[in-house]
Amino acid sequence: MAIVQDHVNVQARLATALAPAASFGLQCFLVDNDDIPADVRYRYVTPDGYDDDLTAAGVPYLYSQVYFSQELTPDKLMLARWVKADVAPKFVCGPAYEKDYEVYKAITDGDFTVKDSEANETDVTGVDFSAITALDQILTVLNAELAALVAPDVVGLDSAEFSFDALDRLVLIMPTGGSTEPTIDIIPVDPAVGTDLAEGVFDASNGSSPAGLDAETNVESLQAVSEIDDSYYNVHERGSSIAEQVALATWIESQKKLADIVVVDPNAKDPGATSDAGYQLKALGTKRTMGIYTEHSDQYPDAADAGAVLPAKEGAKDFDYVPLALVTDSGLTKPLTTGERIALADKGYTWIETVGATYLYDGITFGGEEKRIMLGRDWFVTRIAERIFTIQLQTDLMAFDNETLAQVEEAIWEYANEAIERRILVNTPERPFTVNIPDADEISAAERASKKLTVHNAFHGWINSSINDYEIFGTWQL
């Protein structure tokens, strides 16, 4: 058996804040769907709320349904917006969209002004809502007013459209997209004529004006989401090109995160094909991405597997051989053949099997790592780093003395014992887990003079992997 030595640095520096740690059970499904407005970027759904929050039969709804229908019920799911096509600039009105239609119905001479980022303005006057009988009919009235504009100063406004978005916000959407397009605003008419809609029912002062967005790759989308909320741990992606899947897996490799890609490319099961994502990713040795092959374009095996495993304690449950609901064998009309499965395994893919029960085979990433192990290792190292940083915040003096060193040793053992209990680490006579924080008297004069202590073998042990001889080291720095 090959020996794999993975040296993991656990670093804690005085007065240096740690980046937010991953919420290891939090899944992020990347999807191009208006249920997640592009300017919002992501939204969370829960087991008892997704059917109210999402469009029935839409991809986010169906994915959530599979995810929350497993034997273990996750707490929430992050749905992140992937902008596959240019998104037009728009103005999002404030909270007053919730007003009853009777408020609009009383307005017979409404007005507002649209202004773009180049200071062009167009007045819209004489808006009459008196004939409406439901709130959504205000859109018909407003859009008719826009269509009737003659040579408006704000270019394209006569082709713009008012709408309600997935969050039931009233929005004015311009007809063209891309980040080069000007932003737009709704402002009070000056001088005001009739009822000022901007300050009244639109409540435009509480609105926002998102600029247009250019089409993004999946990596660009995730980076945009991460700038707002980086707490997700596992990314789920489907429907992108092979090049984008390879790029995503390469990006994930540089993060303390995991990824699942769903592959329907028939070349995946062809032993002679080299163009598919799996062949390329195995050649690159990407350890943090798992690829699930299926011939069902309308199923979500990654959602089923994650929902069945990740509510358990991190690293305490396998990703394979766990009964799954709402998915079937990866073969479309019949189970995959022995030859197809051998080809898939050779390229590093996993797949769904139905033999008595339906489960994933076999929970391995393209780099030949158990996904359980990658999750458990990340959890173990991150929790130690967090604990040491907490000690720093709660301790007036972190010095080169035995009191400080004992606190660090205790922190390492705290999570090492839990990792051993969860069967992430082993602790046997042949492979003991050891913590090697020095005594204060062993710190050299040179280290004291440099005001920096680096312990290269702060802990040493073995990961409980079924496929690799996996040695782990920790480096701690004060």
Are 236 and 107 within one domain? no
Residue 17 is assigned to a structural domain of this protein:
no
Please give the pLDDT value at position 22.
Answer: 62
Note the maximum CA span of the chain.
87
Residue 375 is assigned to a structural domain of this protein:
no
The identity of residue 275, as a single letter, is S
The range of the structural domain enclosing residue 457 comes to 387-477
Neighbours of 466 (CB within 10 A): 12
Q: CA nearest 317: which of 4, 78, 72?
A: 72
Residues in the chain where the model's pLDDT stays below 70: 1-22
299: burial class by Cβ within 10 Å (0-12, 13-18, 19+)?
buried
Last residue of a domain, one of 299, 327, 361: 361
| Cα–Cα distance measured from residue 349 to residue 363, given in angstroms and rounded to the nearest whole number | 9
Please give the pLDDT value at position 7.
Answer: 41
The identity of residue 434, as a single letter, is T
Are 235 and 347 within one domain? yes
415: three-class secondary structure by DSSP:
helix
Are 41 and 113 within one domain? no
| Cα–Cα distance measured from residue 347 to residue 364, given in angstroms and rounded to the nearest whole number | 11
Are 222 and 337 within one domain? yes
User: Looking up tokens 């358990």, which residue turns up?
Assistant: 312
Last residue of a domain, one of 206, 228, 245: 206
Residue 310 is assigned to a structural domain of this protein:
yes
For the sheet with 77-81, list strands across it: 42-45, 77-81, 27-31, 234-237, 258-263, 289-293, 350-355, 357-361
Please give the pLDDT value at position 452.
Answer: 84
Last residue of a domain, one of 361, 396, 417: 361
Are 239 and 283 within one domain? yes
Lookup: tokens for 402: 């035995």
> If residue 222 lies in a helix (H) or strand (E), which one and from where to where?
helix 218-228
Q: What is the b/e burial string over 17-31, where b = at least 16 CB atoms within 10 angstroms of the residue's CB?
A: eeeebbebbbbbbbb
Report how many domains make up the chain: 3
Are 287 and 406 within one domain? no
Are 181 and 224 within one domain? no
Please give the pLDDT value at position 143.
Answer: 98
Please give the pLDDT value at position 8.
Answer: 39
| Cα–Cα distance measured from residue 165 to residue 467, given in angstroms and rounded to the nearest whole number | 49
Please give the pLDDT value at position 21.
Answer: 57
Query: Torsion-angle region of residue 285: left (phi > 0), alpha (psi -120 to 50) or beta?
Result: left
Task: Return all residues near 271 (Cβ < 8 A) that are at least 6 apart.
Answer: 339, 342, 343, 346
| Cα–Cα distance measured from residue 270 to residue 255, given in angstroms and rounded to the nearest whole number | 31
Are 329 and 442 within one domain? no
Residue pair 205/21 in contact (Cβ under 8 Å)? The answer is no
User: Looking up tokens 């967005």, which residue turns up?
Assistant: 213
Are 227 and 347 within one domain? yes
Are 392 and 353 within one domain? no
Q: What is the b/e burial string over 209-225, where b = at least 16 CB atoms within 10 angstroms of the residue's CB?
A: bbbbbebbbbbbbbebb
Are 320 and 425 within one domain? no
Are 168 and 296 within one domain? no
Cα R_g (the chain), whole angstroms: 28
Residue pair 423/312 in contact (Cβ under 8 Å)? The answer is no
